[in-house]
Amino acid sequence: MTDKLEERKLSKFVKELDKVRGRHTELVSVYIPQGYELVKIIQHLQQEQGTASNIKDKNNRNRVIDSLERMIRHLRLFKKTPDNGLAVFSGNVSEKEHAEDIKVFSIEPPNPIQTRLYRCDQTFMLDILKDQMEAKNVYGLIVLDNREGTVGLLKGSSITEIAHMTSGVPGKTKAGGQSSVRFARLREEAAHEFYKRIAEISNKTFLEMKNLSGIIIGGPGPTKETFRDGDYLNNELKKKIMGTKDLGYTGDFGLNELVDKSKDLLAQESIIKEKKLLTKFFDTLGKEEQKVALGKEKVEKAIEYGAVDILLLNEELDDKVIEELEKKTEAFGGTVELISGESNEGKQFKEIGGIAAILRYVLY
């Protein structure tokens, strides 16, 4: 599933649960961190069932116990905790005063859950998921000069420092002769070791992130280019470098300055991806028209034959249409991409109906 589809799925999930209101503190919310054992969560919920038996109000007591039981049954369907963790919610969703409709909802969010949480309240606890909605993309930040280096992350509007280190590179000397040559060599070796330390932390941090959108490097002077062009970062991460920026600061101030000066890169990234995708579509339409399906009827027929490689949908289409076509396409191993219409190509795509597909092979 593409990033935009994951974001859309999460947004719809949160909006649906945000409307639910309990009569008492009867709505159960549970967040399970990535890697945490489900059996421990189930045991905890069973203990909460025992605690809930002490609730004085009979209706509230029964609803909480029933909600916990439904959640326990639901969790037993999972063989293990999903890679990004799991958010689970259970409670009475009926809008009628004396009616009961206990339901369970769960979602693996696009970004890893770090917090373990159990809450029983009049509303579902959705703040953690809402924070993830704001952090649509994650970018790696590296700020350095020959004195210090800082590795950080940009998630949504939040800048987080991952590591800060000083170099140990000796300052410049005015000494002449052989001592000057030796000193220059020592400085170069120390700088090399410093860059390796920065790269080690960057590689370890960024390579583990499935949702890393790009890396930006900044700093005063030429050090950032030396680091970027040298054999330091992993080759896969090098491909994600979006650009470098000249900065006046390093450290925490440098991270903030880097983000401020990179707004052009950050704003254009999704548009550039969309442009490339639609350029491919329109080129195929012009040169190999038979390898394109245009319009809902022709796209659906191509999906039935398993011929759809990439399905393109304008993101303003009806939710049901998007979900229906997405489900069918992914069942045959196709990729689904939502088109925002922010680029000129996106606007042109919307004008021709907003539903099309690039095919694996010619149907007729």
* pLDDT per position as a tens digit, 149-179: 999 998 766 788 999 999 877 776 555 555 7
Task: Please tell me the CATH superfamily of domain 138-261, with its number.
Answer: eRF1 domain 2 (3.30.420.60)
3.60.21.10, 1.10.10.10, 3.30.960.10, 3.40.50.2000: which CATH number matches 3-134? 3.30.960.10
Residues in the chain, pLDDT under 70? 1-4, 134-136, 156-157, 172-178, 268-272, 342
pLDDT attached to residue 180: 77
Closest CA to 153 of 136, 134, 139: 139
Quickly list DSSP for 63-98. Answer: HHHHHHHHHHHHHTT-SS--TT-EEEEEEE---STT
Q: Which CATH superfamily is domain 269-359 in?
A: Ribosomal protein L30/S12 (3.30.1330.30)
- Domain chopping of the chain, boundaries: 3-134, 138-261, 269-359
Give all strands of the β-sheet with 27-32 in edge-to-edge order: 102-107, 86-92, 27-32, 117-121
Q: What is the pLDDT of residue 347?
A: 87
Helix (H) or strand (E) holding 158: strand 158-166
CA distances (Å), 216 to each of 132, 199, 286, in order? 21, 13, 36
pLDDT of residue 103: 96
- pLDDT of 342 reads 67
